[in-house]
Amino acid sequence: MPGQNVGRRDFMRRAATGAAAGAAVGIVAPATASGAEDPASAKPDAQPADMALSDIPNFCGHEHWGSIMALGTVEEGFRADVLQGTLPVRGVTVWDLVLDPYGWGWLNSGGSDLGEKTQAAGKRDFFAWWNEDPARAFAAAKPLLERHRLTGVFRCTARGIQTLHGVDISSFDQDAWVAADRRVAEAYNDIHAWHPKAMAKAGFEGLVRAVHPEFYSRTDDARGAASEKGYLRTLMRIDPLTALWTKKNPRRDQLADMVHVDPVDAKTWREFIGRILDRARDGGAVGIKQLQAYHRPLDFQHRADGEVKFRGALSDEEKRSFEDWVVHECCKQAHDRKWPHQVHVGTNNLPQSSPLPLEALAKRYPGMPLVLLHCWPYLAESGYLAKLVPSIHIDTCWQAVLNPAFYGEAMRLWLGYVPQHKIMCAHDATSVEMAAGSALFVREMLAKEIAATGGGRDTGQALLHDNAARLYGGGH
């Protein structure tokens, strides 16, 4: 991902499109572990590392559970981010978890084209190939995946599958993958029962997911939506609003109908944003989130109303001015509401995704806690901001999924420098399984680094749970 000038939405959707067209993978059933105990009653995977923090609950403050192909996509993105109570559009397989947008995207960027193999076999997509001929499908996928077996995304997902479903797929034994697939399918037969059950098993308390503005007015399944409210909090993504400047814009028109304001100038745009945020609040939102760092620097300039063109054919500079104005207005309203604002930092669009320009935004809106997500490779810069600006916090989410060593590096830098109430440890996972595996790495390495700095369990409690629970409103 670093160095590729492609937005996260583009990356996720490109991976999703590839999966649908001959991309992602789907596996089915028996098992080397066929006699293993029922995964619901199995104990969490206790690896040899220090697990002294295993009994401290982990508040998952930034996740994407549901961003897998089995739950499908709509125009705005993954259905789980647009529709409340989203149900799978087909059976969920172990391959949906392994070849999620991260796994599939990085497989392709590494030069391993499973879609090409799928098409050469004359199959519509890999899921269909697996269902029709699992042996040949697995044989095609195995050598490509084995190249990535040491990467964070595979290791986290494999450990999570072992923890929650009781099967070790890291052996790349086909029977084990078949067994894992059967158990995954069974668990996801009722996704909204599975998520809280898996959260309890993985030691998670509290879940926050970023969703699109439409989420607060659309429902896929009413029972699922009601169940989801019991374990999910949301942040509303503001980045979609920064693209609503075109003269003809169906998405803007739909949102305008939803809140009964057509944004055409500064006054109506302020009202439009306010009503959308009110709708989000009423739907359970606890803050906002953006990922502009995927395609532009984070130096959001404050623009006077008269500087901004709000609709029509905009030049590149006019687009930038419009984006700046929208971000500042969202920040002002978040400040007034005391809402946290999560901002993607680093990992892509390097070196334009440095967090340093965000200092000005944080100081202009001190009532808005600003949470820097990911932070790699800008660990020192992020730590500097969190130490010196009262409203800035940092979340290690995605570090272990990228590479567990990145998380260890961050802890070595931050624990001796950043106040412990400023650091949080979510996972940015596309499934609860990936998050469960990431959490194992996080707890192990955090315990090691706390011990190295002379800290105690209070530090683990703060980083794993209390800081995020305080910021987002407590655990469930």
Give burial (CB, 10 Å; 0-12/13-18/19+) of 50.
middle
Cα→Cα distances 52→127, 189, 341, 442, 463, Å: 40, 34, 32, 12, 14
CA 294 to centroid of chain Cα atoms: 14
Q: Tokens in use for 213?
A: 């503005």
Cα→Cα distances 270→299, 327, 335, Å: 21, 11, 14
Cα→Cα distances 381→291, 354, 359, 391, Å: 18, 8, 11, 15
Paired with 104 in beta bridges are: none
Q: Rounded to whole angstroms, how far apart are CA atoms 259 and 256?
A: 5
pLDDT tens-digit readout, 360-388: 999 999 999 999 999 999 999 999 999 99
pLDDT tens-digit readout, 317-362: 999 999 999 999 999 999 999 999 999 999 988 899 999 999 999 9
SS3 33: coil
Q: Tokens in use for 296?
A: 């532009």
The two beta strands, 204-211 and 233-237, are parallel
CATH classification for the domain delimited by 191-472, as one of 3.20.20.140, 3.40.50.300, 1.10.3720.10, 3.40.1280.10: 3.20.20.140
In 3D space, the residue among 470, 415, 394, 400 whose CA is nearest the CA of residue 153 turns out to be 400
pLDDT of amino acid 447: 96
* 260 pLDDT higher than 50: yes
Supply the pTM of this predicted model: 0.88
Sheet (strand 370-374) strand order: 58-63, 204-211, 233-237, 285-290, 341-345, 370-374, 392-395, 423-424
pLDDT of amino acid 382: 98
pLDDT tens-digit readout, 72-98: 999 999 999 999 999 999 999 999 999
